[in-house]
Amino acid sequence: MMIVLVIAFTVFLINFTSSIGFNSFITYDYENSFFFSGGISIIFIDFTSLVLILVLILAFVVVLIVTTTLIITKKRDIAIMKALGSIPQRLYGFYLTEVYVVFLIGFVIGTIIGFISYVIFFFIATFLGALATFQVDLIYIPILFISCFVGIYLFPGVVLRKLGTQNTIKLFSRDIPSNYDASKKLTTIPKWLSSIGYNVKISVLNTLRRRGEFKRYLIVFTIISLIIFTLGLGSIVLKTSSQEWIKKAQGTNIVAIGHKDVLQNYTLMYDMFSNPDILVTQDNIDFLNTNYLFNLSKVEELTNFTEIERIDQRLINFFNVTELDGYHLFEDGGSLAVGQDRQAVIPIIGFNASEIIQDFEIEGEYIGDEDSDNMMIGDGLGYNLFDYPLDQSMRIEELGTGHPFHISAVVIDSFYSGSAGYVDLSVMQGDLNFSSNEINLLLLKVQSSEYADVIGDIELIIQASLGENFSFVNLNQTFENNYSYLEILTFYPSLIIIVMAIISIFALYNYQKGNILEKAKDFLIMRAVGAKYKSIKKILFLEAFYMIIPSLLVSMGIGMIINSLVLFDRVYLPTISLPINIIGLLFIAFLAFNYISLFPILSKIKKFTIKDFDIW
Residue 615 clears pLDDT 50, i.e. is over it: no
Are residues 73 and 593 in contact, defined by beta-carbon separation less than 8 angstroms? no
Interacting residues of 70 by C-beta distance below 8 A, sequence separation 6+: 98, 99, 102, 156
Q: To the nearest whole percent, how much of the chain has pLDDT over 70?
A: 81
Neighbours of 609 (CB within 10 A): 8
Taking CA 498 as the corner, what is the angle to CA 496 and CA 503, rounded to the nearest 5 degrees?
A: 90
The burial of 354, by beta-carbon neighbours within 10 Å (0-12 exposed, 13-18 middle, 19 or more buried), is given as exposed
pLDDT in tens, 204-241: 777 777 777 777 777 877 877 887 787 777 778 777 88
Mean pLDDT, range 112-137, rounded to an integer? 80
- Give the N- to C-terminal CA distance of the chain in Å, as an integer: 30
Residue 129 pLDDT level (bands cut at 50, 70, 90) = low
Residue 580 clears pLDDT 80, i.e. is over it: yes
pLDDT in tens, 7-45: 998 898 888 888 777 766 666 666 667 777 777 777 778
Instruction: Give which of 533, 586, 479, 470 is closest to 224, Cα–Cα.
Output: 586
Q: What is the pLDDT of residue 568?
A: 58
Q: What is the pLDDT of residue 263?
A: 92
Residue 177 clears pLDDT 60, i.e. is over it: no
Residue 110 pLDDT level (bands cut at 50, 70, 90) = very high
Q: What is the pLDDT of residue 349?
A: 94
Mean pLDDT, range 168-176, rounded to an integer? 54
Instruction: Tell me the H-state helices in 180-289.
Output: 188-194, 198-209, 211-250, 260-271
Q: What does the buried/exposed string (b/e) look like for 480-502 if buried means 16 or more CB atoms within 10 Å of the residue's CB?
A: eebeebbebbbebbeebbebbbe
Distance CA 116, CA 224 (A): 24
Q: What is the pLDDT of residue 616?
A: 41
Highest mean pLDDT among 47-51, 501-505, 551-555: 551-555
Q: What is the pLDDT of residue 588?
A: 86
Q: What is the pLDDT of residue 261?
A: 93
| Helix/strand/coil for 89 | helix
Residue 141 clears pLDDT 80, i.e. is over it: yes
Radius of gyration of the chain (CA): 32
Residue 83 clears pLDDT 60, i.e. is over it: yes
For the chain, the average pLDDT equals 80
CA of 253: how far to CAs of 275, 304, 311, 431, in Å?
22, 18, 12, 32
Higher pLDDT, 247 or 519: 247
Mean pLDDT, range 508-520, rounded to an integer? 60
Q: What is the pLDDT of residue 180?
A: 54
Higher pLDDT, 356 or 492: 356
DSSP letters, 545-583, are HHHHHHHHHHHHHHHHHHHIIIIITTSPPPPTHHHHHHH
Interacting residues of 302 by C-beta distance below 8 A, sequence separation 6+: 308, 311, 442, 444, 458, 461
Are residues 127 and 139 in contact, defined by beta-carbon separation less than 8 angstroms? no
Higher pLDDT, 348 or 546: 348
CA of 376: how far to CAs of 185, 361, 524, in Å?
70, 12, 76
Residue 265 clears pLDDT 90, i.e. is over it: yes
Residue type, 538: K
Mean pLDDT, range 508-512, rounded to an integer? 64
Are residues 594 and 541 in contact, defined by beta-carbon separation less than 8 angstroms? yes
Distance CA 464, CA 441 (A): 17
Are residues 262 and 287 in contact, defined by beta-carbon separation less than 8 angstroms? yes
Mean pLDDT, range 397-401, rounded to an integer? 83
* Domain range list for the chain: 2-243+485-612, 251-474
